């Protein structure tokens, strides 16, 4: 597996080793010891999957307290995936990283606790999977608007399909329950 750091400390792009032949392919999507050595700690306590249609935009979401680290990938279709640093006091506060995750490139993105996460579906349909380091706790659910001008994320869709919840998210400036940066 190849692990590449991004412009956001702790956010990592993972390219699993793929073994393919005329029958198809095999790859490890997770192996605790190998991923821990690469900087992706566990334990993971919850796996989630979503299916979304083209132009769906989900995010930008985080949980505070009980921040979730997320290891995300796409098993069907393609998405443009984004991690944004919303940790108050972080040297990279307000910065983001984005990349395409797809069934073809088989890449994964590690998003450490405290970062907001979102994605936009590029294909007709996408199945999105993520492993989480904390349980989902709706009472601690938070988020930031997808089109926040301070973040200025160039989403690949002009009029996304959004949930009612995501339509009501605050801007980074308006958000009151942001996670705090913790020096490690």
The catalytic site residues sit at 61, 130
Indicate the helix (H) or strand (E) that contains 16. none
C-alpha R_g of the chain: 16
Look at the chain and count its residues: 184
Q: Which residues of 123-159 are buried (b: 16+ CB within 10 A; e: fewer)?
A: beebbbbbbbbbeeeeebebbbbbebeebebebeeee
Facing residues of 117 across strands? Answer: 61, 83
* CA dist., res. 123 & res. 111, Å (int): 23
Indicate the helix (H) or strand (E) that contains 102. strand 96-102
């Amino acid at each position: 597996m190849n692990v590449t750091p991004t412009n956001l400390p702790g956010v990592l792009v993972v390219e699993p080793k793929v073994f393919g032949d005329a029958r198809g392919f095999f790859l490890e999507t997770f192996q605790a010891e190998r991923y821990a050595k690469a900087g992706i700690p566990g334990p993971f306590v919850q796996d989630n999957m979503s299916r979304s249609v083209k132009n769906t935009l989900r995010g930008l979401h985080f949980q505070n307290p009980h921040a979730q680290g997320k290891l995300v990938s796409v098993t069907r279709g393609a998405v443009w995936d984004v991690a944004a640093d919303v940790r108050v006091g972080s040297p990279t506060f307000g910065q983001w990283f984005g990349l395409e995750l797809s069934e073809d490139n088989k890449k994964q993105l590690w998003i450490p606790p405290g970062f907001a996460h979102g994605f936009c579906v590029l294909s007709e349909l996408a199945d999105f999977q993520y492993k989480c380091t904390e349980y989902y706790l709706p009472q601690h659910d938070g988020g930031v608007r997808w089109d926040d001008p301070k973040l200025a994320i160039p989403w690949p869709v002009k009029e996304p399909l959004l949930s009612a919840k995501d339509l009501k998210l605050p801007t980074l400036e308006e958000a009151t329950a942001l996670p705090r940066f913790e020096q490690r």
